Amino acid sequence: MDFLKRLALLAVGAALVTAAEMAGAQGQPVKPATGLKLIPASDAALTAPLRNTHGKVKSIVGHTLTLDVGGRDMSFVMDENTDVLARDAGRVVRSAGGKSPTTSLVQSGDVASLAYRERDGAMRVSVIHVSGRNAIASR
């Protein structure tokens, strides 16, 4: 996965350089791109391995999710790049107008699998997959 990200960045860079050279070769001034902002990723972010774990959600406070993994508590940091896969997540997000806080999708007691990377001294969650709910639906 990391290799593909590097390859994609390389391809975008090569395309931009080629386009700039072609525009300059045709005697046209090269205009700076508008609306495009390249944010360099740190080497640590690109090389940090993706790790997985699963357990029971103990709590969610702010941007911190605590997971009980085999009797041991592990704390993870969530951010705007964290994806949540859960049953009925689409309905919840649509009813919230396109954005929904993670706490409406993941709750204490849920069984979840996490994919995370260790960056900047914290375990940052990439994906939360809720595989079991705390409450039993009434029928």
Any idea what the CATH number is for the domain that residue 84 is in?
2.40.50.320
pLDDT value at residue 132: 83
CB 63, CB 76: distance < 8 Å:
no
**What's the whole-model pTM score?**
0.59
pLDDT in tens, 60-106: 998 899 999 999 999 999 988 888 888 877 777 777 777 767 777 88
pLDDT of residue 24: 46
Same domain for 52 and 88:
yes
Are 84 and 128 contained in the same domain? yes
Instruction: Give the pLDDT confidence score for residue 27 in this predicted structure.
Output: 47
- Same domain for 34 and 68, yes or no, is no
Residue 31 shares a structural domain with residue 53: no
Question: What mean pLDDT is predicted for residues 100-120?
Answer: 86
Q: Are residues 68 and 123 in the same domain?
A: yes
Q: Among residues 71, 135, 128, which one has the least CA distance to residue 101?
A: 128
CA separation (Å) from 15 to 26, 73, 83, 111? 17, 46, 29, 44
pLDDT band at residue 7 under the 50/70/90 scheme: low
> How far is CA 116 from each of CA 8, 14, 49, 91, 127, rounded to the nearest angstrom?
21, 30, 8, 25, 7
Q: Quote the domain boundaries for residue 19.
A: 2-40
Residue 137 included in any domain: no
pLDDT digits (tens, 9 = 90+) for 13-59: 555 545 545 444 444 444 444 444 445 555 555 578 899 999 999 99
Quick one: pLDDT at residue 28? 46
Q: Say if 57 falls within a structural domain.
A: yes
Do 77 and 32 fall into the same domain? no
CA 107 to chain centre: 19
- Residues 78 and 22 reside in one and the same domain: no
Provide the pLDDT for residue 13.
57
Is 117:49 a contact under the CB 8 Å cutoff?
yes
